[in-house]
Every structure is written in structure tokens, then in C-alpha cells.
Amino acid sequence: MKEELIVSGRMNQLVDPHLHIWHWQISIYLFLGGMAAGILAIAALYYIRGREKDYSTAVRITPFLAPVLLILGLIALFIDLRHKLFFWQLYTNIKLQSPMSWGAWTLMVITPVSFIWCALHINDIFPKWDWKFKWLFDLEVFFRKYKKALAWVMLVYAIILGIYTGILLSAFNARPLWNTSILGPLFLTSGLSAGAAVTLILSRNKAERKQFARIDLVLIGIELFLIIHMFMGFLASTQVQIEAAKMFLGGPYTMSFWIFVVILGMLVPAILEIMELGKFNVPVLMPAILVIFGSLMLRFVIVYAGQMSRWLY
């Protein structure tokens, strides 16, 4: 029997009894960033493959949400910083070993790219849009000329952004729950599925909706596969990771994870989408909103649970 007691001094309320340094801001940012990454990656992919006509909502309309989501995410990140006025220090350094540095520079690329992508499609939403100034018009002509290259940049950086939201956490070996390389692909898949769900809501085209219901279904399948593998990895690993997994297998996060993330966020929408692809007429809003909700809850659960998991010594 071992009992550990902190007898003095250690009154750091943000560290004891367990870490609570990251709060809703980080969860919200990981969610918004992931969803924006999903939206942009899908748009770029379909544009590159020349399917712009078939999936016009995904390529032209949904990306208009991405800059909004990214800006809101950046605001959340800014709120999280404690030494706010020094935020620019992020952009005087490139630290290849720091995921956060990667993230900061990725956002520096993907945010302007998402604005440019919207500018190229602004006539689809506002047919009478006029740039007013000639240089803006010239700029549009320039980017339209290199739209394919722009789409490639957007695809690559969207995928980096999607993976990075997971790697940000998985790089911390101090928090055994986060320290799994599955988190990168899992967050990317979850972001892509949230992005596909947005198109599912916005699209008025039956064929497109069917395709995106199918995409969502495949992505949910991949997510479930990754989650199972994550737990297999934890349970076959060291004591600290077994303890981390136990938080979800009978511990304090069992309910919120399995009910909100897995059942409501993945299984129920998957069943609804299978029904929709069959003969049933399911209101498309339901599975889509559940997928987005599940994606949000995944971020919250992982961010908060990770801070409860720790090394034993």
C-alpha cells in the first residue's frame, strides 16, 4: 500500500490535483479547425478531380464557412493565451519539433488560402458582386489562372491542419491518454466527417447529398476502427496508458465518451444514413447535426480527460 501526500508548497491550483491548463478554448479550436480542414480538403479534392459540377455545394458554397470557422478558432486560441500581447512571437520562430509552431504556420497559410478560395466563388453567392477596384479584379484573375495550384496547396495544408489538431495533443508524453499516434488520424477523420456533414446540410442536390451521406458513412466507419485500435493500443501498453484507457472503460469519462461521442455522434447518424441511402426518408439535418455534435464532443472529452491522465510516481 502506498500513500502519497503533498505536505507543503505545491498549491499550484492549475496543476493539482490534476492539470487544468487547457479549457473550452482549446476544445472549440480543435473542433473548428478540424471542421474547416475537412471542408477545405473535400472542396480541394473534388475540384482537383474535376467534379466541381457534380458536387458544386461542396466545392463552391461550403468553403464559405471555412474562413469564418478558422477566424473563430483563432479567436478562441487567442483567448487561451495568457501572455496575449506577445502572440507575435509565434511568427518570429520556426520550431520544427513543436507541433504548435507547425500549427501556427499552417494557419498562416490556410487562412488566406481559404479567403482566396471564397473570393474566387463569390459570384456564386452574390451574382452582382463587384470588386470595385481594378487591382482586386486583377488579383482575382491571377488566382483564377492558378486555381489548380491553389487547390493543391489547400488540399495539402488542410490535411496538415486536420492531422495537426490531433498531433498537438499526441506530442505530450506527459499525458498518457494523449500520447498515442492514433489521435492525429482520428481527429483528421473526425474533421473530414464534420466537413462532409456541413455539405450534407447545405446541399439542395439529391445526388450530391447521397454522395456525402455515403462519404460520412465511410468516415464514421474509419473513426470507429481508429477508436477500437486506440483502446487496443492503450490496453496493451504500459500501466499509465492502461489507467488512461480505464477513464473510458468504467472511469469518469465512460458516459460522455460512449454515449455522446460514439453512440450519438457515430452509431446513430450511421444508422440514419444507412436508412436514408435505403428507401426511408430521413430528414438529412438529423444525422448531419449529430455528426457535428459528436465531433465537438470528441474534442471536449479528449482535451479534458487527457489532463486527468498522468504518470504515476
Partner 1 sequence: MRYAMAVDTRKCVGCSDCVVACQTENNVPIGFCRDWVIEVMDGTYPQLEMEIRSERCNHCANAPCVRCCPTGASRIEEGGIVAVEHNVCIGCGACIASCPYDARYPHPAGYVDKCTFCIHRIRNGMTPACVDVCPTKCLYFGDLDDRNSDITAVLKRRKSKTLIPEAGTDPHLYFLK
- Which residue, among 168, 158, 64, has the nearest Cα to 117 in the 3D structure? 64
- Any contact of residue 108 with partner 1 (CB under 8 A)? no
Residue given cell 477513464 in the structure block: 247
Residue among 92 and 281 whose Cβ is closer to partner 1: 92
Judged by CB under 8 A, the residue of 49, 68, 93, 125 near partner 1 is: 93
> How many Cα atoms occupy the beta-carbon half-sphere of 279 within 13 Å?
0
Judged by CB under 8 A, the residue of 126, 135, 280, 313 near partner 1 is: 313
Residue among 79 and 125 whose Cβ is closer to partner 1: 79
Residue among 19 and 289 whose Cβ is closer to partner 1: 19
Give residue 277's Cα distance to chain centre: 26
- Which residue, among 219, 188, 159, has the nearest Cα to 151 in the 3D structure? 159
- Any contact of residue 130 with partner 1 (CB under 8 A)? no
Residue given cell 487567442 in the structure block: 78
- Any contact of residue 170 with partner 1 (CB under 8 A)? no
194, 35 Cβ separation under 8 angstroms: yes
- Least Å distance between CB 252 and partner 1? 19
Distance separating alpha carbons of residues 29 and 36, to the nearest angstrom: 10
- Which residue, among 282, 258, 121, 91, has the nearest Cα to 200 in the 3D structure? 282
- Least Å distance between CB 2 and partner 1? 5
Residue among 16 and 138 whose Cβ is closer to partner 1: 16
Give residue 87's Cα distance to chain centre: 22
- Least Å distance between CB 250 and partner 1? 25
Task: By CB under 8 A, name the binding residues for partner 1.
Answer: 1-16, 19, 21-22, 80-84, 86-87, 89-90, 92-93, 95, 97-101, 103-104, 171-175, 238, 307, 310-311, 313
